[in-house]
Amino acid sequence: MIFTEPRDPRLITIRRGGSLTDHNHYQLALWAATCAEHVLHFFETAKPLDNRPRHAIEEVRAWTKGEVTMTQARTAAGHAMGAARDLTGAARYAAYAAGQAAAVAHVAAHELGAAAYAIKAVQEAATKDNYFEAGRQECNWQREQLPKEIRELVLEDEKLRNHVCWFVFDC
């Protein structure tokens, strides 16, 4: 569980009493999808016939355009997580990253889960000697992808919840 209590109102939509605009919610979802897609090849190499994680990423992107409902994206998130169950290592983390990305449609704070699982996927795929450096490089790559509208929010969220995300944001 990567949520903290009390939840940050900046990651709660305005209609639910927070301060997150729809635009920024969509930006968080798209960034999370980008993070997850960056490591999706780890899953697809292990399970080339299983499209659940890719479908989850596609669904959250479609949600940001109003093409699918939040419930459809959330359902796809659950299916992507299910794809991870019988796997280990990088493939498992990549599927979880996709699931977390799709879950952003439901709860914006899942954005950090997508990023953290993507970093874990890269670390697991790295050699033992390169484990932390690979994670650092992925973390920096993710930060380069951040749209300016949400950059400060995500960086502050990383600081606040780094301790519950395996400290992967120490980059």
- Mean pLDDT in consecutive groups of 10 residues from the start of the chain, 171 residues: 74 96 98 98 98 98 98 98 97 98 97 98 98 98 98 97 95 93
Residues 6 or more apart from 45 whose CB is under 8 A from it?
91
pLDDT of residue 2: 58
pLDDT of residue 6: 80
Instruction: Compute how many other C-beta atoms are within 10 angstroms of the C-beta atom of residue 127.
Output: 8
pLDDT of residue 3: 62
Asked if residue 1 belongs to a domain, the reply is no
pLDDT of residue 93: 98
pLDDT of residue 71: 98
Give this prediction's pTM: 0.96
Asked if residue 7 belongs to a domain, the reply is no
Asked if residue 57 belongs to a domain, the reply is yes
Asked if residue 106 belongs to a domain, the reply is yes
- Domain count of the fold of the chain: 1
Asked if residue 3 belongs to a domain, the reply is no
Asked if residue 170 belongs to a domain, the reply is no
- What is the domain range of residue 52? 16-164
Asked if residue 171 belongs to a domain, the reply is no
